[in-house]
Amino acid sequence: MNGRLPKKIGRRSFLGISGKLGLGITGILAGSTGLFYYGETQRRKRATPKERPGNIIELGKLERLSAIAGIEKVEYEATIQDAWVAKSIKGFVYITNDTNGQLLILSPICTHLGCTVEPTSDKERGAIDPIGYRCPCHGAEFDSIGNATGSGRGLQGLATFKPLIADGSVYINLLSPVEGRASTRRT
């Protein structure tokens, strides 16, 4: 024993020390809560890329769609966010493979007044001057790749959607249709 006694702590210094200790503990707690919050935020951020906007629609597996021989109608449901209003829509596209074996995704909306075009019979599609789609409203005709032809001459071709390929699936951006080719009226 060195004969020294611990210094007596006065009331003022006791309050000072306990105050600092309190601040230290609060700081540690705040730090760990902050770390937890940061970790949670990061976890959520990592999950975000898996979510896709409502206007990006999955149509199916590339392998299956690439094997379509004729025309296939593929339906979809989507929720489009318009400012702060979410709108649910249902629709469909026609999928076919063009002569180069490339996926062709056509909008069924007639460019005359917006009715829905329908695929023609195999016979009409196989004719020398083939008609691929016809509109039941006023008879506009489009060829197999959506160009206005026959009685549709003078109209814009059907709009198409660029196929977006990811993880072996085909997606389209509903808000970015590609306008069809303009045609000249038959004279």
Which residues in this chain contact ligand FES in the complex, by CB under 6 A?
A: 110, 112-115, 135, 137-140
Q: How far is the CB of 123 from ligand FES (least distance, A)?
A: 21
Nearest to 178, CA basis, from 156, 154, 162: 162
Nearer CB in complex with ligand FES: 152/163: 152
Instruction: Classify residue 111 by burial, with Cβ atoms within 10 Å: 0-12, 13-18, 19+.
Output: buried
Nearer CB in complex with ligand FES: 163/177: 177
Nearer CB in complex with ligand FES: 52/138: 138
Nearer CB in complex with ligand FES: 15/113: 113
Q: How far is the CB of 118 from ligand FES (least distance, A)?
A: 10
Q: How far is the CB of 112 from ligand FES (least distance, A)?
A: 3
Question: How many C-beta atoms surround the C-beta of residue 137 within 10 A?
Answer: 13
Q: How far is the CB of 175 from ligand FES (least distance, A)?
A: 22
Q: How far is the CB of 177 from ligand FES (least distance, A)?
A: 17
Which phi and psi angles does 139 have, rounded to 5°?
A: 80, 15
Nearer CB in complex with ligand FES: 48/184: 184
Q: How far is the CB of 151 from ligand FES (least distance, A)?
A: 8
Beta bridge partners of 94: 73, 106
Beta bridge partners of 72: 95
Nearest to 62, CA basis, from 166, 161, 175: 166
CA distance 119 to 73: 9
CA distances from 84 to 34, 77, 87, 130, 159 (A): 31, 19, 10, 45, 28
Nearer CB in complex with ligand FES: 66/151: 151
